Amino acid sequence: MTRALVTGSHERAAPVVDELGRLGIATSVAHDLPGLGAALDAGPFDCYVQLPWSLAAEGDTVVARVHHFLASGLLARFVAVERVLDRLTAGAVILLVAGHEPLQPTAPDDRQARLALLRVLAHAARADRPAQHLRIQVTTSDRSAAELVRMATDAPSGPAVPAADLDAVMSDRSYADWRVEILGLATVEV
User: In this structure, what CATH number is given to the domain that contains residue 117?
Assistant: 3.40.50.2300
Q: Coil, strand, or helix at residue 135?
A: strand
Residue 79, domain member (yes or no): yes
Residue 190, domain member (yes or no): no
> Which pLDDT value is given to residue 102?
54
Q: Coil, strand, or helix at residue 143?
A: coil
Cα distance between residue 34 and residue 119, in whole Å? 24
Residues in the chain, overall count? 190
Residue 178 has pLDDT above 60, yes or no: no
pTM: 0.78
Residue 164, domain member (yes or no): yes
Put residue 91 in one of left, alpha, beta given phi > 0 → left and psi -120 to 50 → alpha.
Answer: left
Q: Coil, strand, or helix at residue 96?
A: strand
For residue range 126-173, list pLDDT tens digits in order. Answer: 999 998 999 999 998 889 999 999 999 985 544 444 333 445 545 555
Q: Which helix (H) or strand (E) holds 181?
A: helix 175-185
Q: For the chain, what is the mean pLDDT?
A: 82
65: confidence class by pLDDT, cuts 50, 70, 90: confident
For residue range 98-116, list pLDDT tens digits in order. Answer: 986 655 565 566 678 888 8
Residue 26, domain member (yes or no): yes
Could you give the number of structural domains in the chain?
Answer: 1
